[in-house]
Structure 1
């Protein structure tokens, strides 16, 4: 078992407009991407649990040509609105870093 932070080459988040955030997880090689995909841990249900949103509100896409997974979720507070603590959505990837991935 290892954490996503040790497997992913890139793990980032960013605005996808004022009402959504996109999470990108990219791998440096096909073997690692395939092993993470086969583990079945990264999916819409995980994203929903980590970010406190309904699973039906998560757009989750494995994208093999880029060795990546992408998820888009609704923001709790619109970008720039009162109460927004991350106007660019750039710090929202942190919960993903400690996700355990079994690579047995």
Structure 2
């Protein structure tokens, strides 16, 4: 198996306002994008499971024109909360890197 991190050119997370995180998964090669898309591994339900949120709370987009996937979820703590450990949301992408793609 190959991991998403090996196929994607960029996997990142960031704030989408103080109450949401967004994840971008972008590919340089159309072949790799199609492989991930056609595997049907990367889904709203997978993101929900990884980040422990209800699937209905995940906004999930496949953007073939950009060779990209995008997902947004509610932040576990709002930005600036005393218990927020990642103010910019830039470290939340890590669990996505190791997703196995057939």
TM-score (norm 1): 0.97
C-alpha distance in structure 2 between counterparts of 1:24 and 1:55, whole Å? 18
Aligned to 1:29: 29
| Unaligned ranges ≥5, structure 1 | none
Match of 1:83, SS state, is: coil
Find the counterpart in structure 2 of residue 15 from structure 1.
15
TM-score, length basis structure 2: 0.98
Unaligned residue ranges in structure 2 (runs of 5+) = none
Q: How many residues align?
A: 102
RMSD after superposition: 0.5
Q: Structure 1 residue 75 and structure 2 residue 69: aligned? A: no
Note the C-alpha offset of 1:29.
1.0
- Aligned partners of 2:3, 2:33: CA distance in 1, in Å? 14
Moved runs in structure 1, 4+ residues, more than 6 A?
Answer: none
